[in-house]
Amino acid sequence: MRANREQAALRDLGLMAYSAAHALQVDLAAQRRQGGLAHDLFLMVEHPPVYTLGRHANPAHLGADADFLRNKGIELVVVERGGEITFHGPGQLVVYPILDLRRRRLGVRDYVLLLEELMLRLAEDCGVIARRDPRNHGVWVGDNKLGSIGIAIRHGVSFHGLALNVDPDLEPFLWINPCGLTGITMTSLAREGGRCTMAQIKARLPHHLAELFALIPYPLDRDQLPANRLCRPSPP
């Protein structure tokens, strides 16, 4: 069965500004859609402090003004993904899958469930038992939210993805209504007694991607440009 699995690239971007990672995603998704990207691709990244608002987000869920954000060094970006407002910062693992969902015959609901399952398994690897919650997509520990999902799909190709709190500064979540929800608290693997470092979680990611998405992941060096590595030759 393994021989029938497709390959997929896995690239660790390290710490990258949100705007740069977003531009990279948009470019790669277009390449995948147009046939220039030979394989699906998973990007791992951490971001400097930033709030992102999905396309239908209510600005009222941001409880801070521009001066406050500037003083705190937090960027504010509106993007095309689904979902409400969330925070990204160092210590949070963000995974952006660039997947041809049509080729995989994968519907949106099943895709979201796979992203949730990925976070559930990573949490379990760290000794934290998380769960789903009907109130909101993502994963939870008790009534505290551990990981979030926000995706975008263009012509059958996905981008954006998931954010799992490993050991970030959780205070910026107090200045918003995370995911548009009121009266909830964000948590992290570290706060819940998780025994994993970021490096250990990243090391486990390929195993779970292979199992959940039925693929064979292979790594790209962080300094390699996926476009140069994965593009098919141009036709004559």
**Residues assigned a catalytic role:** 179
The answer to whether residues 206 and 200 touch, using CB atoms and an 8 Å cutoff, is no
Q: How many Å apart are CA 48 and CA 92, to the nearest integer?
A: 10
Q: Which residues pair with 176 in a beta bridge?
A: 62
CB count within 10 Å of CB 139 equals: 25
Distances (CA, A) of 194 to 47, 91, 126, 148, 198: 21, 13, 5, 18, 11
> What is the secondary structure of 38-88 as a DSSP string?
-SEEEEEEE-SSEEEE-TT--GGGB---HHHHHHHT-EEEE-SSSS-EEEE
| Helices and strands (H and E) in the chain: how many | 6, 12
The radius of gyration of the chain's CA atoms, rounded to the nearest angstrom, is 17
CB count within 10 Å of CB 79 equals: 20
The answer to whether residues 90 and 168 touch, using CB atoms and an 8 Å cutoff, is yes
Residue given tokens 């590595």 in the structure block: 229
